[in-house]
Homo-oligomer: A and B are copies of this chain.
Amino acid sequence: MKFAFIIASALSVFGGSVSVAASVPVDSLITTSRPDGRFVSSRGVVQQMMKENPPVLAFDRNMKAAEFPRWQSSMKDAMKRLMRHPSVEVPAPRLVKTVARNGYRLEKWESYPLPGAVVPYLVMIPDGVDASHPAPAVLCIPGFGQTKELLAGEVQGNFNLDGQPVAEPGKNSMAYHFVRKGLVAVAVDNVSFGELMDNGRPDYLNTSRMLLEMGWSYLGLTSWQDRVVLDWMKTLPQVDRERIIVSGFSLGTEPLMVLGLLDDSIYAFVYNDFLCTTRERILVMTKPDGNGNRPFPNSIEHLIPEFLTTFDFPDIVAALAPRPVICTEGGLDRDFHKIAKAYELSGAPGNFTYHHYAKYADPTVRMDIKEVPAGVDRTQFFRIVNCDSPSHYFKTEWILPWVDELLKK
């Protein structure tokens, strides 16, 4: 089996007694042969610097319950500082179109989150829901390469909503599935994709780069856009503002985490991606490809300077406690246990739910990893952290029953 070697390495290095580092091809690891331990290679220097600077707010599983609120408050302050949301007057959104759909009404709105920007979004209101009969609501944030139309079960690229919707929307049409369940569902685009593309083409990289040049970030802007829509949702008479869920798929889990720390009024969270410790991913994915180049972590829309020296994804999810969260696509049990501990501390152990990918549902096929070993490539990393990326989709089978239970409370 392709991963047998690295799995064996991982297990023996971290779960057993025998170090197999020497059997890893020499150039997969970043090492120095100098007796003083210093690195000549810049990558070595920087690798060591990152290793020696774990996130200052990393969740400590030995934390006492009494310490939890202060830590949580620091997490929120830090997220606020990193996201640099602007202080601008945001005009009221405007309704631009309404179309009837089977069982719900579909509205297209425009928001104006920045002086030069218009950001369209879709609102789906179940039949029978109105000011006298408000319903819970959900803000749906798509993944990389997904659009609000896909989420809503509409034809992708059909920004005018002319004609018919998709006949049988697939699982990824999360907003559609939520509205069919009776929730007011709102679907947005991420920055640079869908209706927000540049000249009909995705433009994650250039936009991210320009934002970074200005001291902002892709996540800062996209979470700001989402926040403007979320704040507006709370003003809708047909929405039960005590029960607004944020649901993120893949890339969309990043703004979910931002909103979660910045807005205490969010009721619950659907986190549909594997739960990744991204700093660890950068540090361990050092195995060169066929050309001898080590993997580049990911595109710069994921780059927020100082994010990973502050916290990492599992810390942020832990800081959402005690609000209900469902994680649907696995990760390391190590990280889930950490989050479960935070929920215990916050007095709501039942509010954290997680599921592994079906492929790794059986605990005996998962690895008991304390620290992912360096020297792996992306495929190996995914195997070690129980990520079955070909089965990456919106897990309605877990999420919809969970929402049912949640809303019964």
Contact = CB atoms under 8 A, between A and B. Distances in A.
Interface string A182-194: 0000000001100
A292 B199 contact: yes
A294 B206 CA distance: 8
A401 interface: no
B41 A211 contact: no
A42 B192 contact: yes
A48 B306 contact: no
A262 interface: no
A322 to B, nearest CB: 30
- Using C-beta atoms within 8 Å of the partner chain, give the interface range for chain A: 35 or more
A210 B40 contact: no
A117 B52 CA distance: 13
A362 to B, nearest CB: 35
Contact of A46 (B30, B50, B201, B207): B207
A209 interface: yes
For this chain, the copies found in one complex come to 2
A38 interface: yes
A116 interface: yes
B41 A196 contact: yes
A47 interface: yes
Given A47-B210, A206-B294, A213-B282, A38 B116 contact: yes
A199 B117 contact: no
A305 to B, nearest CB: 5
A192 B206 CA distance: 24
A37 interface: yes
Interface in A169-210: 191-192, 195-201, 203, 205-207, 209-210
Contact of A117 (B27, B39, B279): B39
A120 B221 CA distance: 42
Given A207-B46, A292-B201, A296-B206, A118 B38 contact: yes
Contacts of A306: 213-215
B42 A198 contact: yes
Contacts of A214: 46, 49-50, 53, 305-306, 308-309
Contact of A49 (B30, B116, B292, B294): B116
A165 interface: no
A213 B50 contact: yes
A195 B38 CA distance: 14
Nearest to A201: B292
A300 interface: yes
A198 B305 contact: no
A112 interface: yes
Nearest to A31: B199
A213 B309 contact: yes
A24 interface: no
Contact of A43 (B52, B206, B279): B206
Contact of A209 (B119, B206, B297): B297
B195 A40 contact: yes
Contacts of A46: 207, 210-211, 214, 221
A45 interface: yes
A200 B42 CA distance: 11
A36 B27 CA distance: 56
Contacts of A17: none
Interface in A69-127: 112, 114, 116-120
Contacts of A309: 213-215
A53 B36 CA distance: 47
Given A201-B292, A296-B206, A43 B116 contact: no
Given A42-B198, A43-B192, A213-B309, 7 more contacts: A40-B120, A43-B203, A49-B116, A205-B296, A209-B297, A213-B279, A215-B305
10 contacts: A40-B119, A41-B192, A41-B196, A41-B199, A42-B191, A45-B116, A46-B210, A46-B221, A49-B214, A206-B294
